Structure 1
Amino acid sequence: MVGAMVALAVFAAIGMVVDDRVLLGESVWLKPFKFAVAFTVYGLTLAWLLSLPHRGARVTWWFGLVFAVTAAIDVGFIVLQAARGTFSHFDKAGDPVNSIGQQVFAAGVPGLFIANLVIALIISWQQVADRPISRAIKAGLGIAVAGMFLGYLMGFTGKRIERDANGNLVQLAGGHTKFANGPEPGRYDGLPITHWSTVAGDLRVPHFLGLHGIQALLLAALVLSRLASRVPWLREERTRARIVGVLACGYAGVVAITLWQALRAQSLIHPDATTLAACGALGALVLVCLTAIAVRAHSAQTLRLAGQF
């Protein structure tokens, strides 16, 4: 699956250069490209995770297979719709291809969610690596499952009518963005590459952050492991695990704040005073907790060194 997604990313990148068709203000091939990159990263993480020795490996292997096959089919439909110059999500048009595709999504998206949920539940009851990595895996999988679930909220942002790349008007059952006064056709102001809205609340932000929390936490655990050789008080696994736990809570808080922001029809880059206050409070809490862990670990290290003399 990962190999297919890498090939698709290259294909879609070429498509963005040679195909000038536009859908919702962006190249018709940008969406397949973003999905290909996202599934490449997540698929590699999941493949590595399932290769670790753990109880219930036969069950997780089968659900890993469900995830891979379902992802390939779902993204395949996204590619097909991009080639046709029309929408893959929320499109209620009655043509045969779209009707079959929406049925594929109706079955495939829950399949991805359930596969991840089962794997997360099985892995969360055991330690598959050292304490910091295990905590990063468990917390990251939990955040990823939550992030995947947040994708369902996009179907409740309100019906809208948009033009596809062929100029045809299409009625959509939902969308990525939430406007304060209802959907605004033709408002495609977005950030570079991600195209997250700069004029409305965009539910893709918490969805994306949730899905890739596991990679962020694993990276943090690996960085702490490297630092442990230079920073004596980080050598205890328990200390690094506590830090990862605090970072996981902070990351989950960021996902929650961006979700809250999007549901209030507020752009990611235009936070109001309430959002800034929430971010400040979260940052302060995380900093206090990390400082407390550092002070405690440093004091313990000092006492151990004193005891040697």
Structure 2
Amino acid sequence: MNVREVLAEIYRRNRVLALAGWFNLLLLVLMFCVAPFDARTVLGLNLWIKPMKFAVSFTVYLWTLAWLLSYLPRYPRMVRLISWGSAIVALGEMFCILSQAARGVKSHFNFATPYDSMIFTVMGLLIIFNTLLVALVLLLFFLRTAALPPAYLWGIRFGLLLFLLASLEGYAMISHGAHTIGMADGGPGLPFVNWSTRAGDLRAAHFLGFHALQLLPLAGYAVSRHQGHATRGQRVALVSALAVVYLATFSALFWQAMNGQPLLNLGAIF
């Protein structure tokens, strides 16, 4: 499939999530046009950088979910609930993040005023709801799905499970009141993502865990198609091993951040 065919297939599989993803891309384009003309910063970065990152992230997430939910034809009501719920969460989160950016203030961990606290609380409630929706998707994939190669199916299951772990890791940020361990949020960071180069940063593990939702199903799909004469059991074992390595890497990044250690020792550069 080329890119156009993939996008058409996503729309065919789930119009709600496909359109919600396109809306986030539209927001991305608008912010990209506005950012060069707005000199305001938050934590040392142009204040539109963070909303742009979230717009990209939500687009990828919504389109991935659109693809995966098509494998649950036995649960049309559940799929509708998950689709609309996920779209509402994404749009609600983007509204909160964009509105705070327009005001020139932080969206996360901002308790400066009652309004700021309310915005962050709403965002937290939306994410809790989304976590419950993903947990429901995982449960359905352990019940009855469309006929899928076992390696691919387990790749999807492992991807959903790692995504949930990354969601739970997000609550560590909330309990800490920041994403940086060992210093205040902000300061020197890696380009664009701005992960701290001076202290621990929980966002690295968060990012890796979330994108297990794409990488592990893709690995399962590839293994199911290109492992020659390997048995089904061997293919599932290979995908399981990849998931264990992924989990170990996620855990190592989380441990590293919680101990106040930067992802890379780039202090001399940044």
TM-score, normalization by structure 2 = 0.84
1:2-27, CA deviations, whole angstroms, 9 ceiling, x for partnerless residues? 11111122122223322221111111
Partner of 1:47: 66
Distance 2:44 2:114 in 1: 24
Q: Secondary structure at the match of 1:269?
A: coil
Q: CA deviation at 1:105?
A: 1.7
Is residue 60 of structure 2 the alignment partner of residue 60 of structure 1?
no
Following TM superposition, the consecutive aligned residue runs of length 4 or more in structure 1 with deviations greater than 6 angstroms are none
Contact 1:64-1:115 within 8 A present in 2 as well: no
Q: Secondary structure at the match of 1:75?
A: helix
* Residue from 19, 25, 28 that aligns with 1:6: 25
Identity among equivalent positions (%) equals 33
* Equivalence map 1:268-287=2 (5 Å): 268-270=263-265
Partner of 2:160: 141
Residue correspondences, number: 246
Distance 2:233 2:38 in 1: 53
Q: Which amino acid aligns with 1:197?
A: S
Distance 2:218 2:78 in 1: 27
Is residue 178 of structure 2 the alignment partner of residue 175 of structure 1?
yes
Q: CA deviation at 1:225?
A: 4.4
Contact 1:205-1:258 within 8 A present in 2 as well: yes
Partner of 2:192: 193
Where do 5+ consecutive residues of structure 1 fail to align?
158-173, 272-309
Partner of 1:112: 130
Is residue 233 of structure 2 the alignment partner of residue 238 of structure 1?
yes
Distance 1:243 1:5 in 2: 35
Distance 1:240 1:9 in 2: 39
Distance 1:57 1:7 in 2: 29
Contact 1:199-1:267 within 8 A present in 2 as well: yes
* Equivalence map 1:1-309=2 (5 Å): 1-96=20-115, 98-128=116-146, 129-157=148-176, 174-179=177-182, 183-184=183-184, 188-228=187-227, 232-234=228-230, 236-270=231-265
Distance 1:61 1:241 in 2: 30
Q: Secondary structure at the match of 1:86?
A: coil
Change beyond 3 A, Cα 1:184–1:99: closer
Partner of 1:307: none
Q: Which amino acid aligns with 2:194?
A: H
Q: Which amino acid aligns with 2:49?
A: L
Contact 2:220-2:239 within 8 A present in 1 as well: yes
Distance 1:193 1:103 in 2: 26
Contact 1:50-1:61 within 8 A present in 2 as well: no
Contact 1:54-1:123 within 8 A present in 2 as well: no
Where do 5+ consecutive residues of structure 2 fail to align?
1-19
Change beyond 3 A, Cα 1:95–1:115: same
User: What value does the CA root-mean-square deviation take over the aligned residues?
Assistant: 2.0
Q: Secondary structure at the match of 1:136?
A: helix
Distance 1:152 1:28 in 2: 24
1:249-289, CA deviations, whole angstroms, 9 ceiling, x for partnerless residues? 11011111100000000001139xxxxxxxxxxxxxxxxxx
Distance 1:222 1:22 in 2: 42
Change beyond 3 A, Cα 1:99–1:214: closer
Q: Secondary structure at the match of 1:233?
A: coil
Q: CA deviation at 1:222?
A: 3.3
Distance 2:196 2:40 in 1: 20
Q: Which amino acid aligns with 1:193?
A: F
Q: Secondary structure at the match of 1:188?
A: coil
Q: Which amino acid aligns with 1:208?
A: F
Q: CA deviation at 1:188?
A: 1.1
1:74-131, CA deviations, whole angstroms, 9 ceiling, x for partnerless residues? 11110111111101111112254x2442342242121111111111122123454211
Contact 1:201-1:263 within 8 A present in 2 as well: yes
